[in-house]
Amino acid sequence: MPKFETTRHVGHPPDKMFALVADVEKYPEFLPLCEALNVRSRRERDGREILVADMTVGYKAFRETFTTQVLLTPDENTIDVKYLDGPFRYLTNEWKFVPAPDGGSGVEFFIDYEFKNRILGALMGTMFDRAFRMFAEAFEKRADAIYGPAKPA
């Protein structure tokens, strides 16, 4: 039952970081291991946007595609990801973007998952753990590329 949780300070405001993470179609351009992402459906409800998306991750000869429901709540600067189908027994992913006094934001990232197949879990688990640790840095670099370098704190 691997889990990873981190909070990082970035020099960009919460609404911009929310928009960057919510732009899931761009993930294959910069996110480690993400080879493809296809949004199956998109709908609005009560000020929230709900996406159903397939993400393909790969490492060397391994490829897996899984489906998630992504709940975007811009008023709260939160993103909640619920697992629907694929190689996991379960997967929960949460993002929260909190204003920082310097105009930047705290990016809170949480993921908890378990593969259905123990062998696949053993093979991919270490690599996934390393990738999740690189995700925060990948999003920070992407924010600097899109919004310009963050001002020092």
CATH class assigned to 3-147: alpha beta
The identity of residue 143, as a single letter, is: A
How high is the mean pLDDT of the chain?
A: 89
What average pLDDT score do residues 13-22 get? 96
Q: Where are the domains of the chain?
A: 3-147
Tell me what pLDDT residue 38 has. Answer: 97
What average pLDDT score do residues 79-102 get? 95
Extended beta strands in the chain, E state? 3-10, 34-45, 48-59, 62-73, 78-85, 88-99, 105-115
Tell me what pLDDT residue 124 has. Answer: 67
Tell me what pLDDT residue 152 has. Answer: 61
The whole-angstrom separation of Cα 63 and Cα 55 is: 10
Q: Is the pLDDT of residue 37 over 90?
A: yes
The whole-angstrom separation of Cα 71 and Cα 119 is: 31
State the pLDDT confidence band at 123, using cuts at 50, 70 and 90: low
- Give per-residue pLDDT as tens, 142-152: 999 999 987 66
